[in-house]
Amino acid sequence: MSDKKLIPISLATLEPSDALAWDLYLLPRDSNQYILYRASNYPITSSDLEKLVASGITRLYISREQRASYQQYLRDNADAWLNNSAVPLPERMETLNQVVTGSLSESFRKKEAVERVVGQSSTFGRQTAAFFAAEPILFEDLVRVLQHDYTTFAHSANVCFYSVLLAKHLGFSGDDLAQIATGALLHDLGKLEIDPRLLVKDNRLTEAETREMQKHPTLGFRRLCRQDDLTAAQLLMVYQHHERLDGGGYPVGLTNDEIHPWAKLCSVVDVFDALTSDRPYRTAIADDIALGIMHRDANTAFDSEMLTCWTRLISTSDAN
Ligand SMILES: [Fe+2]
């Protein structure tokens, strides 16, 4: 089969099965010819998978048309491959990011019902929190695999992973960590109701456009506030993530203690991701310069303890 029609999949994500939904192809070492390894209606056993690993194979290939089916398989089996310690951590992180961004991208594009988006985000939030709680994930593990193009779905995934990393190092655990992950995935949901032309505008927004854009926390909050499975703290992440400690934020202009700690946490990583991602009107800013900009606003925009913790996490990674 032509390589243009094939996409790689990680061998580590496959479970033994009586039949997978796709034909699996192999690229033998020292060859550029893909060969059919296993037709879809044929079982694949744990011994087959072990033999592939023993021969140094880490990737198999499937037809590009079957990407959606593979994505669904990854979602269904996430608990298995995320907890498989035989798979290197960066590979599991990369696959998790692909699954989360792939699913969010699809549900945002299709404008799926809010119940479905919340359900999906809660599942990803729980899985991400459990993965981060169990594994020594570093900032550098994240930054290598995340997309930095500031599409709403990629930004939401980045803010989720960064939030969980920061929250874990601030001492959050268990259900709190899972709730923070889910709240972060949903923090910008209101942007789906903003004119998409504003989201990709390649020069600065006018005053009227800025006012329009600044409605997104309120729009997101209104969209989500009737969901029984979200907590008040998660809703406040959505509603308050653009507030500043000095009252100069939006939509309300709340100050310090009026802002929920989880919204303060979300604000730190939200601004960091915004600065370090490519925007339509400028390219990404380097991590250290972004932190320098943010430290000028410590105690006026950001909680200084949270910003210090985030800075330490990034600096530790840089030192490795
Ligand atoms: Fe936002």
Residue 55 Cα to ligand 1 middle (Å): 47
- E runs forming strands in 114-175: none
Q: Which fold has domain 77-319?
A: Hypothetical protein af1432 (1.10.3210)
Residue 14 Cα to ligand 1 middle (Å): 36
Secondary structure element (H or E) that encloses residue 115, with its range: helix 114-134
- In order along its 320 residues, the chain shows pLDDT tens digits of 556 689 999 888 898 888 888 999 999 878 889 999 999 888 999 999 989 988 888 889 999 999 888 989 999 999 889 998 878 898 899 999 999 998 999 888 888 899 999 999 999 999 999 999 999 999 999 998 999 888 899 999 999 999 999 999 999 999 999 999 999 999 999 999 999 899 888 888 899 999 999 999 999 999 999 999 999 999 999 999 999 999 999 999 999 999 999 999 999 999 999 999 998 888 999 999 999 999 999 999 999 999 999 999 998 755 44
Q: What is the pLDDT of residue 1?
A: 54
End-to-end CA separation in angstroms for the chain: 42
Residue 146 Cα to ligand 1 middle (Å): 18
248: CB partners within 8 A, 6+ apart: 300, 301
Helix, strand, coil share of the chain (percent; to 5) = 60, 10, 35
Judge contact between 307 and 268, C-beta under 8 A. yes
Domain boundary assignment for the chain: 1-66, 77-319
Q: Look up the pTM and report it.
A: 0.91
Residue 249 Cα to ligand 1 middle (Å): 11
Q: At what angle do helices 174-186 and 114-134 cross, to 10 degrees?
A: 130
Residue 241 Cα to ligand 1 middle (Å): 6
Judge contact between 102 and 163, C-beta under 8 A. no
